[in-house]
Every structure is written in structure tokens, then in C-alpha cells.
Structure 1
Amino acid sequence: MKKIFITGIIVIAALAGIMYVLKKNKKENEAQTAVVAQKNAAVAVRIAEAGIKDVNTVYVTNGTFVPKQEVKLSSEVAGRVARVLVDEGDYVKVGQTLAIIVGDKQNVSVNNAQAVYDNAKNEVARFESAFATGGVTKQQLDQMKLQLENAKNNLRSSQITASDVNVKASFAGIVNKRSIEPGSYVSPGNEMFEIVNVSSLKLKVNVDEKNIGFVKLGQNIKVQSAVLANKTFQGKVTFIAPKADGSLNFPVELEISNNAANDLKAGMYGTAYFGDDQTAQALVVPRDAFVGSVSSNQVFVVKDGKAVLTKVTAGRVFGDQVEIISGIESGAQVITTGQINLLDGTAVEIIK
């Protein structure tokens, strides 16, 4: 009995010791967890300092060259192609005949109209003689003169239609495409030739809202093409869109005079350099500092260990740097990564 009592005391003491150790470990774990939770409450971010830097003031944008003049010539009459006088790649002048279509029906119409006109003219002469002697009335003479006028107009219309058998160039350029061969049958509206004029081209580019204010009509712009690395061309601003597109970019057109060898081709990519190749000092921050995009004009600034959402006014874009006109000062710590996890006032931990 005594042994049983002693054994019970030992078991109780052991259980009490175990309970004490467990309780002590729990307090230590809770303390460690609190420390970890406090650490995890701060969002890890990277920062950059806003600073005054020398930046290149040139704004660069790319576009595609298109011909200033381009036309697809179609047949205006039905018939068989008798002769094709030009090939693809040929240079043609204004009014040059490109192809001849057999116009037998048109020639027959001209002959018939000519006969009707000649007859009406003779009839008017006969009626005028008869009117002088009282053989016809003034009304009859006027009706005959009206018939002569109608016959004259019909003759002119037939002559115009007959002249359409000669397909001519409407402007000087190069035959880019020929869709007919001798013996082909064409109907009105069938495409026959594509003529392009590359002596002068247009470069269509987009300029963002931050830089459109520096672009003026008539402004001379340096233009280059990657495939013609050693050659520079001069472009002139001929159009500035009054309205931005969905991306807040403004379409701008430049007119460029090609060189004598017509090295620039329609469809090439071109680069336009707006502004002088000079440097200037500006307060800038990395593009990555902006919440969402540059157009949001919002950045997070670190103050007293917290992220403060700050409204700024963005200016020109210089590659991966953006000019700041107002909102922050030089030396401000702007957050460049981790913004997706931030709210205004969130505690942050700066990592390198």
C-alpha cells in the first residue's frame, strides 16, 4: 500500500513537471511568433531616390514609311487588253499610256454619233435657209437647233468613252504591281496597275501626351531607318492629330523627301528624333516607381517606415526615367518594387 502511494506521488510530480515545461515552451513560442508576426507585418520593398540628373532631351519614336501618293488603276471600259506598255518596277510619267484596250464597240459608237451630229448640223443649216424665206417657223428652227446640241453632247460623250481604251498614269511614280497581260479581258472596275510615288514619303508615328506640346506643324525632324544606318533624312511635321488614341498617344505625320536613289522604301520602319541632341538637368525617378503607369501620376514614398501614396506631376519620359515637375523633392525615397502589396500607410521594410 505504501509503495502504491509513493508511486502515485512520483507520477503526479512527473505530470506536474511536464505541464510546467509545456507551459513555459508555449510562452516562449508565443513570444517568438509575436516577433515574427511583427516582422511579417512590414512589406519588403525596393527603393530609389529621386534626383537631379543630366538627361538627353531628344524624344525618340518609331513608325512606318508610307508613300505620299499611291493609286490602283482600274479599267473604265470592258474589253480585251491589246497591249501592255510597262512592267513592274518601271518609272512612269504623268499621262503616260500604260495599256491599250481594244475599243471596237467604242469606235462604232463614235462613228454613229458623228453621223448623227453631221446630219443635225446640215438640218439646222437647211432650216435656217427655210426660216429666212418663211418656209418654217421660229419654233421649228429652235427645235432643230436643240437636236443639234444633243447630237453634239452625244458625240463628245462617245469620244470620252473611246479615249478610255488608253489607260494612263495619273501621276509620276513606279509601277509596283501589274495585274494584266496582253489578251486579258477586263471589265469596268478590274484592277490593272498599282502606281506608287516614293520620291516623297510619309512617316506615321505616335507621340505621347507628355511630349506632344513640343511638336509643331512645319517643324523639321531628323529621321533615320535601321536598314540605312549611315544615312539621315529630314522630315517635316505635316499633321498633328487633335485627339489622342486610347493609349493617350497622338498620331503625327512627317513628310520626307527621298534621295536620288530612292533608298527609302514604303513599308520600312523609321525612327524620328524630336528635339535637339542636347542634355538638360531634370528631377527624375525610375518609370517603375509609378503605380500602374506613368499616366496615373502616383508614387509611393517611404516616410517613417511607411509607404505614403503621393500625387505627382509627371513630365517628359527619358527612356526608363521620368521627369517629375511637382509633388516630391530631390532625395525622396520612391518605391520601385512591391507596390502591388501596398496601401497608403502600409509599413515597409527596405531590402537591397
Structure 2
Amino acid sequence: MTVNDSPSVAPAPAGQSNAPVPVEVTQVATMRLQDDAQAVGTLRSRQSVTLRPEVSGRVARIAFDEGARVRKGQLLIQLDDTLQKAELSQAQAQLSIARANLKRNQELVAERFVAQRVVDESQANLQVAEAQAALAEARLARMRLVAPFDATVGLRSVNVGDYVKDGADLVNLEDTSQLTVDFRLPERYQSRTEAGQRVLVQLDAMPGKDFEARILAVDPLIDANGRSLAVRAVMPPSSGDLRPGMFARVNIIFSVNDSAMMIPEEAVVPQGGRQFVVMLQSEGEGEGARLVSRRVEVKLGVRRGAQVEVQSGLKPGNTIVLAGQQRLQRDGTPVRVIDMSQAGGRPASPPGELKASAPSGNR
């Protein structure tokens, strides 16, 4: 494999040693590069709630089977409502009396037997009675705990006859018709994350299986403690093998480059806030041909392990120095390629047939 032709450089200054500098080299390779980010998350139900009573009372009836599907508005738990029913009956009786008094006083005021003030008072008493009846109905309704949405009930923590206090946990309801996965990303990804992006989800409970989800929403608030961004993605419809609470590994893909130029990180020489690599080029022809160095500024992109993407400055197939750059202070320095895979190192092929050694990951 020949070294790429490049413009010739000026010869080394007078007095500079012309002894070739031994270096190890590699070539700029192209590969498929996926710019992504990994995170861990948790599967969540579309809707989830823990049923709790608003008032204290004794459990009179449990109207569901554990793990069963329930409909919105379906009765789940009935608390003892004997007292509330009695209060409602009393309020309804007072409401009937108030209505009868108002009707009678309206008839009397038409015959001028009572003043209009009496009718106004009867009207006010009727409104009070109606309010008391509505209050009694509301207190009675609070003794019935119903499903707020279509869901699957979990395991109950009470039995018939138990006395429960207001706010006590009774049973959980999970709407698993559609699951979401909640995860967090570092704040540096906030400008690259948006609704509709594709994410790949893997579950430890189901190894070897990938799920494709879509980002539903991104929290506008960045967590001040961890400086992280909360993201929620919608999982694809499942046959019931996915459950809320599962541990998930999320991979969000930002872009894919099928022909990205990659080089080992150790080939990069930082200097003055800029990044350089030392490229080899042929100088001269025939028996007088030799390899010389030339420093090239590069623009770097995504890092993957010990490799880094080169966005500009090089071309695929260019031969670059992997080790020995510190001895190449000037462009045009003669070099001798060595193969470190051989014991003690040995010169590589002649300049016209230069072979790049494979990049080593344990240098």
C-alpha cells in the first residue's frame, strides 16, 4: 500500500541530522459511526394510582379480584356508610319540609295573609336545606372507592372488617395499555434531544431483545442536583410481557455516519488549543525516495473507546504516525517505519510499499 502523494516540503535546515527517526504508523480507516448516548431508566404505566380513602371507616365490602381488569367508575371498596345514609335521609326530610313551607307561604302571600318577607325567608331556608342534602350526598359518596380509569388492580392490603384511616394505602391500579420509559441524560444533550426521536430499549428481564421507542416529551427543567435532563419515551404496544417497574437500558441515537474517518487517540498531538497529527509522505523518486513527516491540523468529532473521529484535515488511507511524534519537531524530518509487532522492532517495507501497522489498544 503506497503512501498518499502530498506536496513536497522544504528540506531540513543546515546542520539538522538526516538520520531517519523510527516511528510506528497506522492508516486512517473508515467505519460506520453511530453518535449516541446511553442511559438507564424504568418502565412506567400510562397511568398509575394508589387507591386511598378520603375519610376513616370500616371496610364493608371488597368488590374486585386481585389482578383483575376493572372499568372506570367500577366500585372497588365500600366503607360502612350507615351513618352517612342516615344523615342523608335527615337532610332529604328537611328539604321536603322547606319546599312545602315555601309553597304554602307563596300561596298565602298571594292572598295577602303574610308579608313578602316570609316568602323570602322560606326561599332562603330551602336553599340551606338543598345545600345540606348535597353535603350529605357527598359524604355518602366518599364511602365508595371507585376506579378512576380503566386499569388492572394490584394486590390489596386490607380485608373486610378492617378499620382504615384516611390516606391509608388500599390497592394500586396500573393502566398498562401503553408503557413509557423514564430516563435521564446529561445536560449537554439538551439541545439535541426532542420529541419524536428514536430510542432503543433493552430490558435485563428479556435479554437479547430490543424495543424501539419514541421520545414523548422532554422536561423543560434541568435537575439542579445532578444537572440531568428528564426524558420520557413511549414503548411500542406489547402482548403483556412488559411490566411497570422493569429496569431498562436506553440508547438514544442522534446521528449515523456510514463512512466516518477514525484514528487512534494516541496519534493526536494537542498544541495551543488545536489538534494535530503527523502524516507521512514520500519525497523523491527511485532509490533516493524517502519518507518524511508533515504536521497536519485536524478537527475531531466523536470518541469511541480508543478511537476518535476526524472530521477534516485527513483523507481515508492517509498514513499517520502512531508513536514517535515527539521526535518530529519539524516538517520534512526523515522517518523510518518500524513494526512493533516483531520482537525488538524491525524496519517496515520500503517507502514505495509502506504497510501501516494495526493500531494497538494497549499501548
Instruction: State if a TM-score over 0.5 links the two structures.
Output: yes
Equivalent residue in structure 1 for 2:67, among 49, 74, 89: 89
> How is 1:1-352 mapped onto 2 (pairs within 5 angstroms)?
51-57=28-34, 59-61=36-38, 62-208=40-186, 212-229=190-207, 231-242=209-220, 244-245=222-223, 249-275=228-254, 279-283=258-262, 285-286=264-265, 315-318=301-304, 321-323=307-309, 331=320
Deviation of 1:110 after TM superposition, in Å, equals: 0.2
Structure 1 residues 240, 319: closer, same or farther in 2, change over 3 A?
Answer: farther
Deviation of 1:124 after TM superposition, in Å, equals: 0.3
Distance 1:242 1:52 in 2: 40
Q: CA RMSD in A?
A: 4.0
Question: Any unmatched runs of 5+ in structure 1?
Answer: 1-46, 292-297, 304-310, 336-350
Q: Structure 1-normalised TM-score?
A: 0.66
- The aligned residue for residue 293 of structure 2 is none
Structure 1 residues 94, 60: closer, same or farther in 2, change over 3 A?
Answer: same
Structure 1 residues 242, 156: closer, same or farther in 2, change over 3 A?
Answer: closer
Across the two proteins, how many residue pairs are aligned to each other? Answer: 282
Shifted more, 59-68 versus 88-97: the winner is 59-68
Percent identity over paired residues: 22
Higher helix share: 1
- The aligned residue for residue 44 of structure 1 is none
CA deviations over 1:56-85 (Å, ceiling 9, x no partner): 315252322122311111112322111112
Contact 1:49–1:334 (CA under 8 A) maintained in structure 2: no
CA deviations over 1:17-64 (Å, ceiling 9, x no partner): xxxxxxxxxxxxxxxxxxxxxxxxxxxxxx997955413315252322
Highest Rg: 1 or 2? Answer: 1
Question: Any unmatched runs of 5+ in structure 2?
Answer: 1-23, 279-296, 325-361
Deviation of 1:334 after TM superposition, in Å, equals: 8.9
Structure 1 residues 121, 322: closer, same or farther in 2, change over 3 A?
Answer: farther
Q: Structure 2-normalised TM-score?
A: 0.64
Q: Residue 83 of structure 1: SS of its match in structure 2?
A: strand
Deviation of 1:158 after TM superposition, in Å, equals: 0.7
Structure 1 residues 74, 264: closer, same or farther in 2, change over 3 A?
Answer: closer
Structure 1 residues 170, 312: closer, same or farther in 2, change over 3 A?
Answer: farther
